[in-house]
């Protein structure tokens, strides 16, 4: 990796923008891939990043863990016998543990998981579970048998490799789950302290995650609409609430066959009991927009912005057709405010040029498929030399239309009786009303709200932030492997999802940290780079003191140093060995 800069002139001033670039081989070619945009690397950016780093992780390099008291020891060394042992991943787990502590989760877990008769503190086991899910998502068995022994987490937690086994990790899941509400309440307060995140506007969405196995011991594991395209598997629903900036506040788990709209009232009541009700604005998609939910929100005085089904557009044909009242709120997006004829709510009509192009292309695609299939069917009927069964042909027409539902209403297909050997021929007509409505509604959608003191631009921009909740699900599924679920017991499934939620808290904290440092929004890139920083045991055979073992951290290369400097992190150079690892020095006269 290396640094590269570009020079741009703005308002008569010269600006030098730096980026971190690495070479990647693609087939026979080597291309340059940008890892992170570092901006101008100005002093102000460094100061802001270091201030946030100080609030998050303090100054861990000053901790006694990294001082072994032998800085001033001078001894003669036999160069021939110097060797390196025990190489372990350091950078990524060091950063993950710093985030775990910086978000206050370590201190909270130590308070909630009070020590008892166990040999290993449950708070440390919780840290292992979450850090592992953050750095290298895997099963508890993989953590115990492979991952943990390859990392320096044992040194950072002062917890030996032999202390980690799958049974202890499973029991840690059970202990952690009991404190889900307290963890969520703490995170709501802590994210506001660290990132000045406001939680008056709450974004809410639902996804599903599926099981491997029958999950017969879990009543919540049911078959339902699968967002993972696995209708063959049982699943549960995860309802997630995030702030306007995408920081997670809480979640609930529902049975896999629960309709989205039936989760709303439970989530709203739960979150308001935990975080307060005053001033809350709920933003969610059209899956929650049932008449019962909207009536409940209005009657209880809760403010909301909710997407509405596209079928409701037909109530506003005159508004859509009219050219007055529309104005742009974003490039290619126009909005118009009106009133709902039945409830008096504010309705935000929206038109998107990109969405129009996409929907038009989809209509054309499915129309082409239907037309080609009907032409082939008509040709078969014409070529037939025997009488055909009308019911069978009608079923074939039904399958063609059902497989291309988006454009099915455009076609009116009938079987007209004639004197041919088949007994009838295929007659296809086009529905002009479908084309007229498509031309008017393509790219259009509407939102419903009972907020009266916001502009149309504020309402639209607030709803678009719902992509933050969708992004949270993509990260949990793609980066943190919340799916598939291998646990079969209900409590273990709940605990697995809680660990993924806490790992996502670390992920979002790192993302917001690196955004403020001008490093983009890809935590996985940061982790992959820092994972290459390792700790090693340097064994020095001496002529007077036997073997001296020094646990050292490799120094970052130029690219890694640029990342660390931008984040405001100073890595330690040495780590202290535990008492049973300290060598016995044989001093002689």
What is the DSSP code string of 545-562? S-EEEEEEEPPP-HHHHH
pLDDT in tens, 309-344: 988 999 999 999 888 889 899 999 999 999 998 888
Structure tokens at 455: 């502009």
Between 8 and 418, where is the model more confident? 418
Structure pTM? 0.82
pLDDT in tens, 486-512: 999 999 999 999 999 999 999 999 998
The position carrying tokens 């079969």 is 488
Q: What is the dihedral of CA 142, 148, 151, 152, to 10 degrees?
A: 170
Query: What pLDDT does 519 receive?
Result: 81
Query: What DSSP character marks residue 287?
Result: G
Query: What pLDDT does 62 receive?
Result: 41
C-alpha to C-alpha distance for 585 and 578, rounded to whole angstroms = 15
Handedness of CA 198, 204, 207, 209 (dihedral sign): positive
The position carrying tokens 């049982």 is 234
pLDDT > 70 fraction of the chain, expressed in percent and rounded: 86
C-alpha to C-alpha distance for 96 and 87, rounded to whole angstroms = 19
Contact 239/206 with Cβ under 8 angstroms?
yes
The position carrying tokens 């709902």 is 340
How many residues appear in the chain? 589
C-alpha to C-alpha distance for 500 and 248, rounded to whole angstroms = 11
> Measuring CA to CA, how many Å separate 362 from each of 9, 47, 357, 407, 425?
43, 50, 9, 8, 29
Banded pLDDT at 262 (limits 50, 70, 90): very high
| pLDDT beyond 80 at 88 | yes
Banded pLDDT at 589 (limits 50, 70, 90): very low
pLDDT in tens, 50-75: 666 666 666 544 445 555 555 556 77
DSSP string for residues in 61-105: GGSGGG--S-TT----B-GGG-EEEEEEE-HHHHHHHHHHHHTTH
Q: Helix, strand, or coil here: 347? A: strand
| pLDDT beyond 70 at 38 | no
294 CB contacts (<8 Å, ≥6 apart)? 304, 306, 343, 345, 448
Poorest-pLDDT segment among 166-170, 270-274, 281-285, 353-357: 270-274
Contact 133/499 with Cβ under 8 angstroms?
yes
Contact 38/20 with Cβ under 8 angstroms?
yes
Q: Helix, strand, or coil here: 34? A: strand
| pLDDT beyond 90 at 169 | yes
Contact 233/484 with Cβ under 8 angstroms?
yes
C-alpha to C-alpha distance for 28 and 184, rounded to whole angstroms = 49
Query: What pLDDT does 57 receive?
Result: 61
> Measuring CA to CA, how many Å separate 86 from each of 152, 462, 538, 553?
10, 51, 9, 12
C-alpha to C-alpha distance for 346 and 559, rounded to whole angstroms = 52
Query: What pLDDT does 538 receive?
Result: 87
Contact 305/459 with Cβ under 8 angstroms?
yes
């Amino acid at each position: 990796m290396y640094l590269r800069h570009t020079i741009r002139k703005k308002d008569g001033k010269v600006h030098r923008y730096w980026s971190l670039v690495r070479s990647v081989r693609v087939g026979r070619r080597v291309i340059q891939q940008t890892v992170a945009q570092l901006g101008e690397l100005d002093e102000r950016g460094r100061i802001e990043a270091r201030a946030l780093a100080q609030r998050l992780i303090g100054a861990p390099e000053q901790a006694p863990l990294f001082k072994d008291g032998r800085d001033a020891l001078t001894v003669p060394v036999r160069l021939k016998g110097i060797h390196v042992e025990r190489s372990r991943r350091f950078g990524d787990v060091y950063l993950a543990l710093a985030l775990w502590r910086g978000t206050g989760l370590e201190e909270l877990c130590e308070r909630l998981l009070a020590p008892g008769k166990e040999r290993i503190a449950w708070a440390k086991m919780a840290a292992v579970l979450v850090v592992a899910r953050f750095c290298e998502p895997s099963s508890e068995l993989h953590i115990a048998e492979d991952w943990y022994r390859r990392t320096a987490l044992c040194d950072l937690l002062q917890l030996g490799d032999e202390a980690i086994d799958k049974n202890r990790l499973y029991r840690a899941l059970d202990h952690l789950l009991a404190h889900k509400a307290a963890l969520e309440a703490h995170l709501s307060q802590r994210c506001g302290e660290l990132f000045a995140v406001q939680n008056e506007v709450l974004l809410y969405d639902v996804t599903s995650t599926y099981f491997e196995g029958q999950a017969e011991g879990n009543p919540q594991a049911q078959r339902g609409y699968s967002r993972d395209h696995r209708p063959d598997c049982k699943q549960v629903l995860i309802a997630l609430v995030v702030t306007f900036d995408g920081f997670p506040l809480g979640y609930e788990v529902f049975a896999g066959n629960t309709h989205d709209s039936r989760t709303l009232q439970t989530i709203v009541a739960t979150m308001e009991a935990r975080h307060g009700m005053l001033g809350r604005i709920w933003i969610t998609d059209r899956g929650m927009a049932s008449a019962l939910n909207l009536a409940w929100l209005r009657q209880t005085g809760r403010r909301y912005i909710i997407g509405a089904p596209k079928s409701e557009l037909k109530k506003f044909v005159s508004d859509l057709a009219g050219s007055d009242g529309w104005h742009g709120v974003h490039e290619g997006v126009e909005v118009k405010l009106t009133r709902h004829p039945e409830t008096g709510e504010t309705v935000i009509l929206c038109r998107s040029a990109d969405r129009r192009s996409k929907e038009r292309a989809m209509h054309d695609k499915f129309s082409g498929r239907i037309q080609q299939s009907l032409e082939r069917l008509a040709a078969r009927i014409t070529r037939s030399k025997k009488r055909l069964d009308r019911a069978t042909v009608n079923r074939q027409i039904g399958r063609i239309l059902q497989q291309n539902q988006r454009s099915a209403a455009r076609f009116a297909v009938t079987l007209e009786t004639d004197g041919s050997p088949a007994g009838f021929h295929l007659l296809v007509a086009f529905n002009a009303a479908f084309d007229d409505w498509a031309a008017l509604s393509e790219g259009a959608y509407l939102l419903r709200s009972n907020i009266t003191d916001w502009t149309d631009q504020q309402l639209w921009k607030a709803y678009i932030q719902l992509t933050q909740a969708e992004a949270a699900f993509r990260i949990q599924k793609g980066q943190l492997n919340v799916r598939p679920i291998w646990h079969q017991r209900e409590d273990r499934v709940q605990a697995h999802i809680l660990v993924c939620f806490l790992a996502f808290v670390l992920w979002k904290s790192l993302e917001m940290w690196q955004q403020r440092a001008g490093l983009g929004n890809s935590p996985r890139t940061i982790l992959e780079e820092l994972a290459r920083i390792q700790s090693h045991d340097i064994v020095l055979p001496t002529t007077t003191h036997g073997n001296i073992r020094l646990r050292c951290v490799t120094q970052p290369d130029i690219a890694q140093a640029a990342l660390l400097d931008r984040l405001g992190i100073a890595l330690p150079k040495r780590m202290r060995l535990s008492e049973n690892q300290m060598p016995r020095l044989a001093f002689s006269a």
